[in-house]
Structure 1
């Protein structure tokens, strides 16, 4: 199974092409996205069928933690109209892929692509090889399962995590700046508040935490912050109702058909890709 983190692929193409969101139009984004899918399907064909996974518009993690990804949203306000256009294009491409191509297209209400990819990896890793196509380091924790590998489009290589359990532990302790999650020593609003700084994670702190965990205890005095971070970054903490929604979506038959692709390529003037239609 080839699990594609679609939001990363599309946005990576937009910024990697050199024009940025101001000049990237729908035709360009469509072409780059489809060409990426063609290349990944060819490159990783031994892993089986592709599954295209999109983020939904709203995340359950925002209810768990109000500052989740808040800094990203603030930054996007500087180019509000451009970002609105890009998200509209992504929605349009998602619908086109769903209606036209013979792939599972997964977008589950209240779930991020991370949730869907984690659930499907756990569900299928014992019966088939799984490759996760994403540069997101969060997925390294899934390498604790057999038959699971990750490929980073950004680095153009496979990401090999030697100790996935240690990686997850470190991720919980240190948080994730890009998602607005502070380390476990810091208050909830530390990352979005310009007047606050995160408290440093020293070797002494790490040793104390390790000693607590050795006795199956949460770090003393940091229980709430530990639970905050664990709920947000540990895929084993994805709520069961989200997992249930993912399973329901998975059981819906594929809508697109290979026979639809020829007319689609003509309609959107995808001449170069038409020459490689057999690779999709």
Structure 2
């Protein structure tokens, strides 16, 4: 056999081997997987572009305007949120929901609004101030706050109309004031308070200081201050339950932070904190 013939045969064998190896590699690449040239958006859950259901992460300052009755729980949630989002810082502005809504509509820089009533939130959404649809995350119910030991022996709403009983209410523009009027109407009672406060904490403080004998506040506020005051439940409160909506704001300076905080408030971890404080789930 000539040297040229032998060389030709060796070349043919080598070429066949290369073809076999190439076919085998192609078969492995198509066996239930995605080829290396596939777009990340088409990969399975957990890969880039997939919706894993994980809440968005946040960085920078997240400014939250929230109803005064959320002060204790949101302060705790803010710390937990920061721990879960290194690099993020939550700052709060607590107050009467109506005053907060007015500030937002006037251009106050805020990322998130959590109100104590849908009516108050509506003033922001009607002005185009919310980004997307607000979500109800908790409910709250009224109770009668009285000094420790209940010296006036108040047992229900009717007792608030008694001679010499001084009562504090929230102003009617504030969600706790609107709820109080609803409860009083359900009981067919007329009540003249000695003071009208701009948020629920103001009405509660009047009882703490002994300036009034009772006030209509949320059950969560009484629970948070149980060392100083007592609460008296009344059946008409069931007619005046307040929904609490939350929304990221359209002009939020930190849009990613706003979305992340709104998502966190609706998470199972946050709901545990809120329900432990006396809030009800929607």
Superposition TM-score tier, normalisation by shorter sequence: under 0.3
Q: Which has the higher helix share?
A: 1
Q: Rg larger in 1 or in 2?
A: 2
Q: Which has the higher strand share?
A: 2
Q: Which has the higher contact order (CA 8 A, sep 6+)?
A: 2
